[in-house]
Amino acid sequence: MAVVVKYVVERNGVERMTFTTKKEADTYDKMLDIAESLELMLEKVDVPLSEQQVESLALEIAKSKDDFMAVLKGSREPITAKSPAKNKKANNNIASIKESVDK
């Protein structure tokens, strides 16, 4: 019998994602924290967005936070434009919240 350690990221009683390393789970949890904060900000903007659009936009910004930070600091290009392989690898372990809820 094998013993398998799994790290589960849970939000509001809903299992979002399961990881094999604590580092990956912590990274995903932090990304969800950022997305929640962004949702609060986006709800206050004077642009008509549905609740689903706000959630999706916040999650996508959180996933690409390094690119957004680079652009906001004055860079002309997002970081991932220079290294697409790194971005592709990082996104393989992330599922959207909607996909996790639908399961």
Predicted TM-score (pTM) of this structure: 0.64
29 — pLDDT class (breaks 50, 70, 90): very high
First to last CA, the chain: 28
Question: How many of the other CB atoms lie within 10 Å of CB of 17?
Answer: 20
% of the chain with per-residue pLDDT over 90: 36
More confident call, 94 vs 20: 20
Q: Please name the helix (run of DSSP H) or strand (run of DSSP E) that holds residue 18, with its range, or none.
A: strand 14-19
